């Protein structure tokens, strides 16, 4: 009997278009209220409440939100905007498991330094949360921007009754997400211990009699 070949991370990401809710997320009111907020502190409080609701509905680890009252990170070339970052998701690994997810969103636009439009802020928040879902819910080792990824963003928005904030279906890509940062655990990515010879050298330098 031929053994099935495991699907790649890209194929798995592409193949999942909805969120597997354990319970229905009662966050519509929170999501709609975020459309009335413009200050960074208010958006951080409301956004964190929405993240907590979504994580509870899927039984995911917590994800901390920071709304920075500063312009988006950006790059210009010959005086023209070439690249900007709405926000990013950072995940830290511990014992081979993704933990301690954090999201950072910039509340001001890159060049004009205007308050980010409410719909754009909410879509960015949902976008970054789906990265959190990919790592801690689907168990992916990375979270590429596939057609399935953007379908999941729209699925969350529609579940919350704010589907109008999500952009139209986007083209799929095999490129890794540029708004995701993966921090290795204290050993190595994936929780793999360093080689024995390295541990012996450390023990000889700092003393290995304690903590064993």
- DSSP states along 84-126: EE-EEEEEEEETTEEEEEEEEEEEE-SSS-PBPPHHHHHHHHH
Which has more pLDDT, 199 or 30?
A: 30
Alpha-carbon dihedral sign for residues 9, 49, 121, 102: negative
- Across the chain, where does the E strand assignment appear? 63-71, 73-77, 80-85, 87-94, 97-108, 180-183
Digit-coded pLDDT (tens) for 132-155: 999 999 999 889 999 999 999 999
Q: What one-character DSSP code corresponds to residue 79?
A: T
Provide mean pLDDT across the span 165-170: 76
Query: 143 phi and psi, to 5 degrees?
Result: -130, 80
Task: Kindly report the number of other CB atoms within 10 A of residue 55's CB atom.
Answer: 20
pLDDT > 70: what percent of the chain? Answer: 74
pLDDT (0 to 100) of residue 195 = 44
Residue with tokens 């290995």: 208
Q: Mean of the per-residue pLDDT values for the chain?
A: 81
pLDDT > 90: what percent of the chain? Answer: 58
pLDDT value at 212 more than 50: no
Give the whole-angstrom CA distance, residue 100 versus residue 97: 10
pLDDT value at 39 more than 50: yes
Q: Which of 90, 23, 115 is nearest to 60 (CA)?
A: 23
Which long-range contacts does 39-42 make (Cβ < 8 Å, 24+ apart)?
39/69, 39/107, 40/67, 40/68, 40/69, 40/107, 41/67, 41/69
Domain parsing of the chain, residue ranges:
9-206
Structure tokens belonging to residue 92? 């830290």
- CA geometry: angle 161, 166, 171, nearest 5 deg: 140
pLDDT (0 to 100) of residue 73 = 77
Digit-coded pLDDT (tens) for 98-108: 777 999 999 99
Q: Which of 189, 90, 50 is nearest to 42 (CA)?
A: 50
Residue 174 pLDDT grade (very low, low, confident, very high; cuts 50, 70, 90):
very low
pLDDT value at 176 more than 50: yes
Digit-coded pLDDT (tens) for 73-128: 766 676 666 667 888 999 888 777 777 799 999 999 888 899 999 999 999 999 99
Q: Which of 69, 71, 74, 101 is nearest to 85 (CA)?
A: 74
User: Where does residue 72 rank: exposed (0-12), middle (13-18), buried (19+ CB within 10 A)?
Assistant: buried
pLDDT (0 to 100) of residue 76 = 64
Digit-coded pLDDT (tens) for 48-62: 999 999 999 999 999
pLDDT (0 to 100) of residue 177 = 64
Give the whole-angstrom CA distance, residue 153 versus residue 122: 11
């Amino acid at each position: 009997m031929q053994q099935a070949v495991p699907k790649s991370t890209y194929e798995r990401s592409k193949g999942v278009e909805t969120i597997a809710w354990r319970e229905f997320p009662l966050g519509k009111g929170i999501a709609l209220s975020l459309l009335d907020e413009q200050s960074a502190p208010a958006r951080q409080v409301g956004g964190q409440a929405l993240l907590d609701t979504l994580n509870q509905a899927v039984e995911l680890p917590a994800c901390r939100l920071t709304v920075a009252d500063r312009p988006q990170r950006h790059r210009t070339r010959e005086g023209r905007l070439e690249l900007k970052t709405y926000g990013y998701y950072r995940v830290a690994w511990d014992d081979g498991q993704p933990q301690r997810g954090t999201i950072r969103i910039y509340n001001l636009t890159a060049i004009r330094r205007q308050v980010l439009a409410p719909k754009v802020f909410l879509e960015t928040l949902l976008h970054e949360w789906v990265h959190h879902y990919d790592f801690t819910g689907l168990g992916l080792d990375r979270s590429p921007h596939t057609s399935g990824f953007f379908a999941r963003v729209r699925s969350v928005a529609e579940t919350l009754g704010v589907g109008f904030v999500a952009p139209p279906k986007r083209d799929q890509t095999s490129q890794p997400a540029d708004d995701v940062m993966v921090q290795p655990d204290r050993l190595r990515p994936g929780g793999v211990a360093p080689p024995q010879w390295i541990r012996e050298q450390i023990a000889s330098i700092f003393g290995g009699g304690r903590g064993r």
